Structure 1
């Protein structure tokens, strides 16, 4: 965490089903959420919920965590970013990443090749395009011919790059203004910072379940962990962080087709490392642990079973976090 930095706290939106209404976002902002971020899955795209938030909460920071560099063409990505920058001038952060082969190939009929190089090239293109330059360039992974934004943003948004392992982390450090992290504990941040250094802004999605029923939390979290951390990129990330021994039984059972057995094999200590849970005050304290470790913007992602999906409970976490920042 940077010395003297404001204690920013992000929230993944939409919080509930549907796109969050203006009054809900305004209340959550007043309670302590400084940032609203999107996660691009099969639910909503990365930009539309932020367009709603831009008008609902004129003071909030908005960010994509992340928009896929494969699901859109480079020019379309630049146009979407320019639009958000105009709706929220000086308050928008553009997070891009490789996402996954499922999102690229299976859902968007796109290729998924050389992800590190594709994200690097996309970052270089966006730097030029969002600055208003005419781009006529042959990159290593794609070419853009004579593209210029008709209305480039007056204030170019910071560019953040989603990264897990050293190759993409080095791209984030070299080409981006920051990095977006995912699926790591507060104790893992030091490992990442050794690669990216202290210069980039660090945002990290943190999974939270505001419940004191640890058995229920761990049962739900095991299913989520098994579904995510068996994806090759995330599995490699966990190996790099030092969890190979702890997660090998899960990977072996998953590869054998035993999904239930794989989830059951996730150890409690892995759940507790990767999922913040407990009372609002305990959750807030855990979020501050990420800040102390070097995360500038923790981005809360409440688990589906979480009572904090109710705005009143989400407010309690933010309030406790704000109290701990004073």
Structure 2
């Protein structure tokens, strides 16, 4: 069974409260899942609670949150609070994040692979009502899904072995197929795969600038750079890794690179791109709506919902 959901984006050129508007539009349009991450605006659990109180049916997937920033107790308390305050279906997602966010912003050691395995195990146990390190949750929320965002081979192994779902962000359909093919060497029955992709309906120049700005952030990091190089854009990767200004790189990102890791164009184009990810092996696609020319992604989400959610949730 496949499904299509919506991801609250982190567009720095948009007002932070637009996340609430996107959630309302996604709920009204009939999407079944909303992903709620965290960067430099709102606390994810607080935002999820506000969204749960303003929407009627959409289920909430909180994260991926940076592993190591919150303890398993804090993660379990956060999810339990959201469920208790909103009465909404909710799950949790964890990811490696980056040294800047984990170590510089939060003052925690950046040890994502080592921390992820134990964090998933302990958080799951606490949510199920077990006592861990002397702590027991007074309002357990058992059998909640814990997804793990992964990219490199070490984190992918942990995600496959420990997670209820593997999450991939900003990747091509070919990369997804390669990752899914590699699962056979890790587990006999690997978990389902979800992918996040930026989406824009008939994008104009302002939207393309927004998407280029996002992509420029991912040109240099290990793994992403190699994927973009395989897609034929090694020159951009080399410049990013040599310290070229991000704004300069963003200006030079071609539309075909945006199209390779996203769903942009006409409604039919977007449907075809989403289907290509399903064909590559994913079970869930999370659309990250571009909002530079489409506030709250309203036009995108209301147009695409009947085309993408029929028979799915």
Bin the TM-score by the shorter chain.
0.7 to 0.9
Q: How far does the alpha carbon of each residue in 1:54-93 deviate from its partner, in whole angstroms, 9 at most, with x for none?
A: 2334432210231111222231112112223435668212
CA RMSD of aligned residues (A): 2.9
Alignment check: 8 A CA contact 1:183 1:274 kept: yes
Q: How far does the alpha carbon of each residue in 1:167-215 deviate from its partner, in whole angstroms, 9 at most, with x for none?
A: 11111111111111101022221111123356312221111122254x6
| 2:41 corresponds to which of 40, 43, 51 | 43
Aligned residue runs from structure 1 range 215-254, under 5 A = 218-230=208-220, 232=221, 235-239=222-226, 241=227, 243-244=229-230, 246-254=232-240
Contiguous gaps of at least 5 residues in structure 1 = 137-145
Going from structure 1 to structure 2, the CA distance change for 1:229 and 1:52 (only over 3 Å counts) comes to: same
How many angstroms apart in 1 are the aligned matches of 2:112 and 2:126? Answer: 21
Aligned residue runs from structure 1 range 1-326, under 5 A = 5=1, 7-13=2-8, 17-18=16-17, 25=23, 28-87=26-85, 91-112=89-110, 114-136=111-133, 146-153=134-141, 155-197=142-184, 199-213=190-204, 218-230=208-220, 232=221, 235-239=222-226, 241=227, 243-244=229-230, 246-259=232-245, 260-307=247-294, 309-322=296-309
Alignment check: 8 A CA contact 2:5 2:286 kept: yes
How many angstroms apart in 1 are the aligned matches of 2:229 and 2:241? Answer: 17
How many angstroms apart in 1 are the aligned matches of 2:213 and 2:198? Answer: 13
Q: Which runs of 4+ in 1 moved over 6 A?
A: none
Q: Secondary structure at the match of 2:44?
A: coil
Alignment check: 8 A CA contact 1:70 1:104 kept: yes
Q: How far does the alpha carbon of each residue in 1:101-141 deviate from its partner, in whole angstroms, 9 at most, with x for none?
A: 121122212221x21111111111112211211113xxxxx
Corresponding residue of 1:140: none
Displacement after TM superposition at 1:308 (Å) = 6.0
Q: Secondary structure at the match of 2:243?
A: coil
Q: Secondary structure at the match of 1:147?
A: coil
Matched length: 304
Alignment check: 8 A CA contact 1:132 1:149 kept: yes
Alignment check: 8 A CA contact 1:94 1:158 kept: yes
Going from structure 1 to structure 2, the CA distance change for 1:200 and 1:280 (only over 3 Å counts) comes to: same
Structure with the bigger RCO (C-alpha within 8 Å, sep 6+) is 2
How many angstroms apart in 1 are the aligned matches of 2:195 and 2:239? Answer: 29
Q: How far does the alpha carbon of each residue in 1:10-63 deviate from its partner, in whole angstroms, 9 at most, with x for none?
A: 1123796416558x7455334231111112111222222221232334432210
Query: Which range is displaced more, 217-226 or 310-319?
Result: 217-226
Q: Secondary structure at the match of 1:63?
A: strand
Going from structure 1 to structure 2, the CA distance change for 1:196 and 1:57 (only over 3 Å counts) comes to: farther
